[in-house]
């Protein structure tokens, strides 16, 4: 009975219906094996059972090299059951107590989609499924649902010659915030248009709607996920979007409709940021971001997409902060660009971390360094007040600012003289993203693009990237000092750094890590399987880190990147080890490619 209870509490058996589980559990046996027992040999007889470890450990090897150590709650044998082949050596490392499920019962359980996804043949599929099935808060909206679900009724159309008075009455009576106009191309008239283009301009009530409507009509497919509709609203700074299905407009969705899909959604958050009237409103921004991130994660939004939404929110916060600094100091003496660096530059930051930013201004402003110095200091101080700590390495605009020519020279020096310090700084600054300001920073990208023709620099930056590596598989144990791993340094950073290296080699201008992996795949640096496995490993590691850090916040603990394996579920432990293996395999290929 104790064995059955243990099995019932172990994923994915915990997700099975009771009748289906009871039928399988009737055929489960508890088996014991002494340390040193070989349970399978690669190329030999495939295993005929699925095993769930209760006590002890098992070592998976290939050609004498340890690939993974499995412990309590983890499973093995499913690869043989799925493929009909023995692809690994399986050795009992510590005296083993395991629950044994026959192959026939395993195949019947595979009829359950969640059970089957847990044991998918491909690593990418398993990692993807584990994220989808992770424990999150209940009764949250599914933000992957299509935006068409938000439509409350068919759109209301008006002829071009109708007056704004008629439009206002229709909008009042039907409780609408927008009507569509049958112009060529079609247009839209919103309550904001009535306020800004009619009342504020003193136009008469007889003004034709054609004159004050917005054209062309901005549309999205009705099948667009809600989170993508959020992104579009934020990027385009619009309040309404028309949804189209089969070539016909099926409805108009307002930003408020999207906001209602989650009270902690990014549209609601960005509107709150836009309403900030003074620096007094900066306090608590970090907590509001954490609440929004938690709500989005609970709504099963991909953590990578969450990070992009957080980046847009942080960009929106920066806009009033820059306005306040300009109001204090007067108009800028030359055009400038505020750059986000590191994870914020890649749009991969979730919870607020140390500031990483820089300031570039036009060469004509070279004599106004003191103004830009004071400007950068004010902005850095305000970001700190909002919850972004000062960068411990000093990589902030108050320390890193200058005219375009100075920055181009700096980039050129890093590429042509790859010292350890220049490699560190290029890794930070080459992920820049302009988030504010009117200055054209294309000259900086031109300098970065020249790196593809500098093999010494590329090899040096590849060596630097490979310094960050996952822990040895033998060290990943539940007990002892080696049971703690750093998810960022040992998992996420190796992927980010090597993806950046590939992007520089092929001359890709994209910043996001997943986009860089795609670009490397198209350029032939990564095979389909390797790219897919590394991409899913990245998604899994980012999602796991985010879930754990949110838990730390809730429990009032310091937010760190380290986690003890004992704090993870058996599924998380297994998938973490598999993610590390995917990164190791990619690093081996990269070492060969760069002759390292």
Q: Domains in the chain, start-ordered, CATH in brackets?
A: 2-121 (2.60.120.10), 147-260 (3.10.580.10), 266-453 (3.30.460.10), 455-593 (1.20.120)
Mean pLDDT for 385-400 is 93
Q: Specify whether the CB–CB gap between 335 and 403 falls below 8 A.
A: no
Q: Specify whether the CB–CB gap between 497 and 503 falls below 8 A.
A: no
Q: Return the exposure string of 6-39: e unless at least 16 CB atoms fall within 10 Å of the residue's CB, then b.
A: bbeebbbbeebeeeebeebbeebeeeebeeeeeb
Enclosing H/E stretch for 342: helix 342-345
The distance from CA 281 to its chain's CA centroid, rounded to whole angstroms, is 27
Q: Specify whether the CB–CB gap between 590 and 462 falls below 8 A.
A: yes
Q: Is the peptide bond before 296 cis (omega within 30 degrees of 0)?
A: no
Strands 401-403 and 38-40: unpaired
**pLDDT (tens digit, 9 = 90+) per residue, 268-293?**
677 677 777 788 888 888 887 887 78
More confident call, 145 vs 41: 41
Mean pLDDT for 478-498 is 85
Calculate the alpha carbon distances from 317 to 56, 94, 385, 469 in Å: 52, 54, 12, 35
**pLDDT (tens digit, 9 = 90+) per residue, 130-161?**
655 444 333 344 566 788 877 877 889 999 99
Mean pLDDT of the chain: 87
- Say if pTM beats, i.e. exceeds, 0.75: no
Mean pLDDT for 81-108 is 92
Residue 295 has pLDDT above 70, yes or no: yes
- Determine the Cα–Cα distance for residues 16 and 109; give it in Å rounded to an integer: 8
Whole-number pLDDT of residue 135:
46
Q: What tokens does 292 get?
A: 């929004």
The residue among 41, 126, 151, 27 whose CA lies nearest residue 75 is 126
Mean pLDDT for 317-334 is 94
Q: CA angle, 203 as apex, 166 and 206 as ends, to 5°?
A: 35
Q: Specify whether the CB–CB gap between 270 and 314 falls below 8 A.
A: no
Terminal-to-terminal C-alpha distance of the chain? 55
- Determine the Cα–Cα distance for residues 69 and 100; give it in Å rounded to an integer: 18
Q: Specify whether the CB–CB gap between 299 and 265 falls below 8 A.
A: no
Mean pLDDT is lowest, of 39-53, 115-129, 234-248, 562-576, for 115-129
- Determine the Cα–Cα distance for residues 171 and 190; give it in Å rounded to an integer: 9
């Amino acid at each position: 009975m104790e064995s059955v209870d243990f099995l019932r509490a172990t994923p994915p058996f915990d997700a099975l219906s009771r009748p289906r589980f009871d039928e399988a559990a009737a055929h489960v046996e508890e088996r014991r094996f002494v340390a040193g027992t070989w349970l399978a040999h690669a190329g030999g007889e495939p295993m005929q059972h699925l095993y769930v470890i209760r006590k002890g450990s098992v070592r998976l090897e290939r050609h004498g090299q340890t690939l993974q150590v499995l412990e309590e709650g983890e499973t093995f044998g499913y690869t043989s059951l799925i493929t009909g082949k023995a692809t690994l050596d399986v050795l009992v490392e510590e005296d083993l107590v395991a629950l044994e499920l026959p192959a026939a019962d395993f195949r019947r359980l595979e009829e359950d989609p969640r059970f089957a996804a847990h044991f998918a043949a491909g690593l990418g599929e398993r990692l993807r499924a584990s994220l989808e099935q992770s424990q999150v808060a209940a009764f949250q909206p599914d933000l992957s649902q299509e935006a068409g679900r938000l439509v409350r009724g068919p759109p209301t159309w008006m002829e071009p010659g109708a007056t704004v008075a008629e439009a206002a009455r229709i909008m009042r009576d039907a409780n609408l915030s927008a009507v569509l106009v049958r112009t060529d191309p079609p247009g839209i008239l919103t309550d904001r248009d009535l306020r800004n283009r009619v009342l504020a301009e003193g136009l008469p009530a007889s003004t034709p709607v054609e004159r004050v409507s917005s054209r062309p009509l901005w549309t999205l497919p009705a099948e667009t996920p809600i989170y993508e509709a959020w992104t579009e609203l934020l990027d385009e700074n619009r309040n309404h979007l028309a949804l189209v299905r089969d070539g016909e407009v099926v409805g108009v969705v307002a930003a408020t409709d999207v906001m209602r899909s989650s009270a902690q959604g990014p549209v609601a958050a960005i509107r709150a940021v836009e309403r900030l009237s003074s620096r007094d409103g900066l306090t608590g921004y970090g907590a509001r971001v954490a609440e929004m991130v938690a709500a989005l994660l609970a709504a099963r939004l991909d953590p990578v997409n969450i990070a992009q939404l957080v980046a847009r929110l942080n960009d929106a916060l920066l806009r009033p902060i820059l306005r306040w600094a300009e109001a204090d100091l007067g108009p800028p003496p030359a055009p400038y660009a505020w750059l986000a660096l590191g994870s914020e530059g890649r749009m991969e930051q979730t919870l607020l971390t140390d500031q990483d930013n820089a300031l570039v201004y036009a060469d004509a402003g070279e004599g106004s360094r003191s103004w830009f110095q004071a400007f950068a200091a004010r902005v850095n101080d305000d970001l700190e007040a909002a919850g972004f700590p000062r960068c411990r390495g000093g990589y902030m605009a108050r320390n890193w600012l200058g005219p375009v020519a100075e920055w181009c020279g700096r980039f050129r020096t890093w590429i042509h003289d790859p010292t350890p310090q220049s490699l560190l700084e290029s890794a930070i600054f080459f992920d820049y993203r302009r988030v504010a300001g009117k200055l054209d920073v294309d000259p900086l990208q031109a300098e970065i693009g020249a790196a593809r023709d500098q093999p010494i620099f590329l090899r040096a930056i590849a060596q630097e990237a490979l310094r960050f590596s996952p822990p040895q598989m033998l060290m990943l144990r539940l007990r002892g000092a080696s049971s703690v791993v750093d998810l960022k340094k040992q998992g996420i950073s190796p992927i980010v750094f090597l993806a950046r290296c590939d992007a520089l080699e092929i001359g890709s201008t994209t910043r996001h890590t997943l986009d860089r992996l795609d670009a490397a795949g198209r350029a032939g640096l990564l095979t389909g399987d390797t790219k897919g496995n590394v991409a899913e490993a990245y998604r899994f590691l980012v999602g796991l880190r985010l879930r754990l850090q949110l838990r730390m916040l809730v429990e009032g603990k310091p937010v760190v990147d380290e986690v003890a394996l004992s704090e993870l579920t058996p599924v998380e432990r297994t998938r973490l080890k598999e993610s590390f293996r995917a990164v190791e395999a990619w690093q081996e290929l990269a070492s060969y490619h760069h002759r390292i």
